[in-house]
Amino acid sequence: MANILCITNGLSGLLFASFEVARRLEETGHSVTCVAPAAVKKIVEDQGFRFEALPESLLDAFEAEDASRSLSARILTYQRRRRAALTAIQESRAVKALHSLSPDLVLVDIELPEIALAARSLSIPTALLVTWMSIWRSANVPPLHLPVRPEHSGESGVQKAWRRYLLRKRAGAWRRCATQTGFDHISQLRRFSRQVGVPLSELNLNQWLKPATFHTTPSLVLNAFSFEFPHVPPPQVTYVGPMIYEARREAEIEPVDVARLHDVMKQTQGSAKRLILGAFGAQFTARRSFVERLLASFAMRPDWEMVLALGQYDGPSPPSNVHIFKWLPQLQVLAEADLAIIHGGINTINECIRFCVPMLAFSGGMTDMDGNIARLLHHGIGAAGNPISDTPEELVERIEAILQDAEVRQNVNQMHQAIERERNAGTLEQQVERLLARS
């Protein structure tokens, strides 16, 4: 039995994926400890997993998300605290913390490269956990933030997009290095790499994720290769399939909302009414104007029922066939839904495919959403709309088109089967055993 650390920054997407990683590895006999900010301790322990807090000196940098604050405020706070934490890392506190936990293997969020460096300096087998689709440059895979599809742009268009992106990325890195006088993230990583004895050549700056990842450290992508654009991944990259933790205990839903949700789902079962889920995720707040147009579109179609999670909603009263909740048990609803209206987050896409639910995507324009939607369109498992310009009438047309499209349903079913094969192939467990054999 190996002692495995699963280290995340506490954001909900990778945190819940890490629970499935932990469950599967514990089933094979290993001991797994979830390491994250103290703010998510209760969430982790409620799932029944062991918990260790990230070192106090790192907590300011890797704070769990607070959905009640604006995105810009969270980003500014994160950046401010991360800079403070990097000074602590320079004092090797990350190294000391890992050493005290005596792991046989470290699985660490790819967005925490300092901890991966610390683990490597201690000769602990290490793998990076990746919840994105491909972030590595390839002839057939555009940068992940772009809505580019290689079948439309061709290899030359993909490479042009990469050149433009890397030029902007490098220019930004040089500007931060000059203005932050050596305390920018890349300079800190290089300094820490020299301090702990990891070759600087191991840092890979020529891919999508900022600021860097590694050239040879194994990366475990917690998504399905079946959902990718066709390409050959780098040798250190392994797709282990989506990590959907179906036994998860999530936020408590009020008894009155439980009854409301039950009534909505009951009236659509065995009837001609269609049940549609509106799911916009933890990292994206739907524009109010878009929500109002969406509500207006459902007022035109009383034969549709929509359940929609919007947190604190203070807009106009919805039509009688739209049911707004502060929070929804998404997997429970997807098990019955005919369609999901989504923002393009990869975790929601994975869950829709898991339950064979076609998707209508309205990109939130954040990080990987456009790239995920490009893949959704490439595989024909849904459609995309424009959250800024679509009118209620156009929304009705888009929803109706997907609900009536037998080819989309067939494609979703085929993608479901392909991804289930990946989920059940035991690739995660095999990769972990290979990593442990190197120690």
pLDDT in tens, 385-426: 999 999 999 999 999 999 999 999 999 999 999 999 998 899
Does residue 162 fall inside a structural domain? yes
Structural domain boundaries enclosing 296:
255-404
Same domain, 32 and 112: yes
The alpha-carbon radius of gyration of the chain (Å, integer) is 22
Looking at residue 316, what is its pLDDT? 82
Q: Give me the pLDDT at residue 80, please.
A: 52
The confidence score (pLDDT) of residue 33 equals: 94
Distance CA 180, CA 174 (A): 10
pLDDT at residue 439, rounded to an integer: 66
Residue 63 has pLDDT above 70, yes or no: no
Verify that 224 and 280 share a domain, yes or no.
no
Torsion of the alpha carbons at 231, 234, 235 and 240, rounded to the nearest 10: -70
For residue 41, name the pLDDT band (cuts at 50, 70, 90): very high
Q: For residues 130 and 388, what is the distance between their CA atoms, to the nearest angstrom?
A: 31
pLDDT at 164 over 50: yes
Judgement on whether residues 343 and 326 belong to the same structural domain of the protein: yes
347 plus 293 within the same structural domain: yes
Of the candidate ranges 82-91, 168-177, 347-356, 430-439, the one whose mean pLDDT is the lowest:
82-91
Model confidence at 60, in pLDDT bands (50, 70, 90)?
A: very low
Domain shared by 48 and 99, yes or no? yes
Q: What average pLDDT does the segment 16-25 reach?
A: 96
pLDDT reading at 292 higher than 60: yes
Residues 114-138 have pLDDT tens digits of: 889 888 888 899 999 999 999 999 9
The percent of residues above 70 in pLDDT, for the chain, comes to 88
Angle at 213 between CA 151 and CA 347, to 5 degrees: 60
Output the average pLDDT for the chain: 87
| Residue 339 shares a structural domain with residue 433 | no
Among the ranges given (45-49, 90-94, 293-297, 380-384), the one the predictor scored with the smallest mean pLDDT: 90-94
Q: For residue 162, what is the domain's CATH number?
A: 3.40.50.2000
Q: What is the mean pLDDT of residues 203-231?
A: 94
Q: Is the pLDDT of residue 19 over 50?
A: yes
Distances, alpha carbon 336 to alpha carbons 136, 307, 352, 356, 357, in Å: 36, 12, 11, 10, 9
Confidence at 90, pLDDT banded by 50, 70, 90: very low
pLDDT at position 284 over 60: no
Q: What does the pLDDT average to over 185-191?
A: 85
Claim to verify: residue 262 and residue 341 sit in the same structural domain = yes
Q: How confident is the model at residue 250 (pLDDT cuts 50, 70, 90)?
A: low
Residues 348 and 223 in one domain: no
Q: In this structure, is residue 414 part of a structural domain? A: no
* Burial category of 292 from C-beta neighbours within 10 Å (exposed 0-12, middle 13-18, buried 19 and up): middle
Helix (H, G, I), strand (E, B) or coil at 140: coil
- The predicted structure's pLDDT at residue 72: 54
In this structure, are 205 and 295 located in the same domain?
no
Looking at the 3D structure of the chain, how many domains does it have? 2
With 90 as the cut, is the pLDDT of residue 106 above it?
Answer: yes
Chain segment 236-247, per-residue pLDDT in tens:
999 999 999 998
Q: Does the pLDDT value for residue 249 go beyond 80? A: no
Domain assignment present for residue 411? The answer is no
